[in-house]
């Protein structure tokens, strides 16, 4: 996705922001464009509160002047703007390439509306070509990884390789903002994403996984950006 396409999608998402809203702030390069643009609108007088999905998004929002609130001060969120690594035809998502999947899912699930900003390269027929992240507790993570493998194999995924995400030196685990590890699962294709999501989250030690099914209380829309403009889906 070119930087211009990212900016087009972010600018279109900004049009859905209204004065007084509580806004979930996504994580990643496209979400960063949105946060910067939101900061410009705040400087012009827009009154909103931001709820970041990662420490990186928190730092950026603070730099550009977006007022923030703590998660324990909110019981619902008006609108969340975030990206995705994959999007299927029903708007199910695969997320977590940036390591923020747990906080992203908590905030998305509490939102009245979630707008996903992406480009056509992120749309797929079946989720799973992008590695599926699974956030797990450090304690017993090798046992948890074996159980994750078993779930993926039983679900008929095209691939079942499971590897701990590393940071820096080989063997050094990547740590999420929550102090957990991430298992990256090379699924290839996930035949039943809703089932895999449910079964993974039943494993003790799994905090959350990167499959975002549809949430009953959240309207999910999509803004696909390109250098020529945007296509908006699912938002009326």
Residues assigned a catalytic role: 104
CA-nearest of 90, 185, 194, 199 to 128 is 185
Cα distances (Å, whole numbers) of residue 216 to 86, 109, 112: 20, 9, 10
> What span, in angstroms and rounded, lies between the C-alpha atoms of 31 and 116?
9
Residues forming a β-bridge with 226: 229
> What span, in angstroms and rounded, lies between the C-alpha atoms of 156 and 163?
18
> What span, in angstroms and rounded, lies between the C-alpha atoms of 96 and 99?
5
């Amino acid at each position: 996705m070119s930087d211009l396409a990212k900016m087009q999608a972010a600018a279109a998402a900004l049009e859905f922001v209204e004065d007084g809203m509580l806004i979930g702030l996504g994580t990643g390069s496209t979400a960063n464009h949105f946060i910067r643009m939101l900061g410009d609108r705040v400087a012009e007088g827009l009154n909103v509160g931001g709820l970041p999905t990662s420490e990186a998004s928190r730092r950026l929002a603070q730099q550009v002047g977006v007022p923030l609130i703590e998660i324990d001060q909110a019981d619902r969120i008006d609108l969340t703007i975030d990206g995705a690594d994959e999007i299927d035809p029903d708007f199910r998502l695969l997320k977590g390439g940036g390591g923020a999947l747990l906080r992203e899912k908590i905030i998305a699930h509490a939102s009245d509306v979630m707008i996903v900003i992406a480009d056509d390269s992120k749309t797929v027929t079946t989720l799973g070509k992008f590695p599926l992240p699974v956030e797990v507790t450090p304690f017993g993570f090798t046992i948890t990884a074996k159980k994750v493998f078993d779930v993926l194999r039983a679900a008929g995924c095209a691939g079942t390789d499971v590897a701990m995400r590393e940071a820096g030196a080989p063997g050094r685990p990547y740590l999420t903002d929550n102090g957990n590890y991430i298992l990256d699962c090379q699924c290839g294709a996930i035949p039943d994403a809703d089932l895999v999501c449910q079964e993974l989250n039943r494993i003790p030690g799994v905090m959350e996984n990167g499959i975002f099914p549809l949430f009953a209380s959240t309207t999910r829309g999509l803004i696909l950006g390109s250098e020529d403009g945007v296509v908006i889906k699912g938002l009326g």
